[in-house]
Each structure stands twice: as structure tokens, then as C-alpha cells.
Chain A
Amino acid sequence: MSTELFKKMAQSIIDGDTDVSVELAKQAISENIDPILAITDGYVVGVNTVGEAFAAGDAFLPELVMAGEAMKAAVATLEPEMTKRGTERKMLGKVVLATVEGDIHEIGKSLVGTMLTASGFQVFDMGVDVSSAKLIEKVKEVDADILAMSALLTTTMVKQKEVIDLLDSQGLRRKVKVMVGGAPVTRDWVQRIEADGYSEDAIGAVKVAKELLGIS
């Protein structure tokens, strides 16, 4: 019975249909199906299918993003039920994500957030123009594994260094991995500010995040 539902869940992700994925999550709750099972045997199967199609060149970025969003919405619908049951989904790690202070460029940062979420990371997206102090506060608050910062301007890119220096001075640098991104970010810059990783695009960012946390 639930096999049929799981198949539908996977399909809703493949179709990138948030309405359907949320509807099926509600159905699962009303039918008393374990939400963890719904995720692992239902939705995640869909995410993996889209991921494989993407790797093979048969699916494209918009399909990945839509699958990610449908997944996120379904999981959010299931969350109260998980809390009720006292169960928790095993996540790959906690990521605090933002565009640095003085910079309002959002799209690349948000894309990274969607990809990380879809891959099983817990992402705290703080939006754009986020001060260094606030970023560090959040890292402490959620005990983040990764801090990921975006900057699109050479004049705001320096904030990435400011944050790393602040982490250092507060004795937090070794507790959190730092990823940076944005059009002006180069390997040279990454080495200079001693960040742990960087990627030129959102797909690569997932790979880097996994590597940083030793996940194969």
C-alpha cells in the first residue's frame, strides 16, 4: 500500500511538483506512515533519479532546482510529525549560508542553498547583506559545520576575509569549515584568506561541502 504512495512521492520530485509532493506528505501523515520512511523510501528516491539524470546529461539545472524545492516543501510538511514522534532525519551537516555585508546579489547563493538542501544538508540561509557579526552569531547558535559566504563584488569580497579573521580571533576557526563563492572569487583569493573550499557553481559546491566533512 505504502509502496504505491512512495512511488508517487518519488514521481512528484521527478516532476518538480511542489503541490503534489506536499499533498502526498499530508496523506502520509493521515495514513500514519513513518515520515522518515516517506523521505528515505519516497522523496529521496526521486531526488536521486533526477540527480542521476542530471549527471548523465539528460536533465538540466531547472529540473534539479524544482526537484530540490519540491523535496524541501515535502520535508517541511512532515517535520511536525517527526517532532511529534520524537524522530529526526539524519542530515549530512549544518550549513550557515549568506551573501556578505554590502552585497545584495542573491541568486548564486540561493542556488547553492537549494542544492545543499536537496543533497541532505541542513541549511540556514540568512539572505543577503548579512553582517560579519551576525554570521558568526548564527554559526555559534546552530553549531554549524560549514559557513558558506557569497560575494559578487571585489569590494565586498573582502568581507569574506573579515569573517574568517573574526572566527580566528574568537577561537572558532577550527570548529567550522569555511566555503566561499561568487564571480570574483579565485583560487588565489581562497588561498590568501585561508578558506577551506570554494566552487564556481552550485553543483560543485555540494561536492566541496561533502569533501570538507569527509562524506564520500
Chain B
Amino acid sequence: MNDGMLMLENVTVQAGNFILSPFSLDIGEGECVALMGPSGCGKTTLLETICGLRDGPVGGRIVLGGMEVTNLSPGARGIGLVPQDIALFPSLTVREQIEFGPKLHGWEPEEVKERVESLAGDLGLTKLLSRLPEGLSGGEARRVALGRALALRPQLLCLDEALSGLDEARHDEVLGVIRKMIERERVTALHVTHSKKEAEVIADRVVLMG
């Protein structure tokens, strides 16, 4: 065992005809790693496997915070996810998106309120709390998705090309917010990206796949 936050040991994933050959990775506590590689090399597949969104890997094991999570359900892993398509729940307001996880986990109402307002303040969402996703810009939507993923104080934050599709100004703004939140929340992060610039700004280390 090591004292890393996330440890992948020869993780092998089969997704239809695609097989991700044994992959190992060790991420220290509070470290931000950018996972890069050509399209189709299995970055998103690996990320989804880490999050528990695919049937368990056909080989290897995943250890998070010293506990093996290879076959745990997604909600029991303590991972926050910002997917590529953001996937804000269309029928919920910004406040409801952020408090979704804490409420589900039975947090006290005061604690939920405090957490939502703290995150909204940090993410610049205070004035948007009653808005529905359809009224948000791309940058705002990403900040909400980040708040939703961080609300439960996850051990690991997974970002799957979360900045794709933004114009340059918004891209840089959201990138700055992500960096700031990773530091403020002291969360370990795994950021899948195609962009060297993103990797340079956000990551402590770059891992290449494929």
C-alpha cells in the first residue's frame, strides 16, 4: 500500500470491442493530475470506471483514500464528477443542483444551506441560485456542475473535458475557477483533457495515455 489518494493497479477495462490494456496510476492527496491522450485511447472509459459508472474492470483494482472501491457503487466512492456534457438536471434550480447530494445524504438543513451558500459564493453563483439550467451561460453551467460535484466534499474530483465548447475568455475564466476551487477545497483531482494549456494551468502532473 502507499499513501496516495487514488491508486490504479493494472486496471483493465473492456467496453464492447474496446479493451483498455492494464493501466496503473498513483495520485497523491491534494494532487491534480491531467490525463491526456489521443481520442479513442480510453481516457473517458477509465474515468467512468474510476467513478463506478461501468461494470467493474475485468482486471486490476482501484483504491481510493486507502479503501478498495473497485466494485463499490458510484455513490459510495466519494467521487465528484463533472462530465463532458455537464448534465445539469434540467428541472432543478442552481440551488437544488448543489444541494442534491447533501440532501440525499441526509445532511441537516442548516448544514446544507451553509454549504450551498459557501460554494455559491466561491463560484460566483449567489445571484443565480434560483435560476434553471436553461437560463445559464456555458461558463455558469460549468461552475454549477463544479459546485454540484464538490458539495459532498468528495475525496476525488473527476473532470471529463469539462471545458470543451467554451470560447477562449470563458474557458480561461472557468479554468481559473476550477484551479481556485481545487486549492480551496483541497481536493484531489483527475482532469481529462486534450488541451496542453489546460494541463499546464491546472495540473501538478500530466499523465499520457495511449
Q: Do the two chains belong together in a single complex?
A: no
Q: Which B residues fall within an 8 A CB radius of A?
A: none
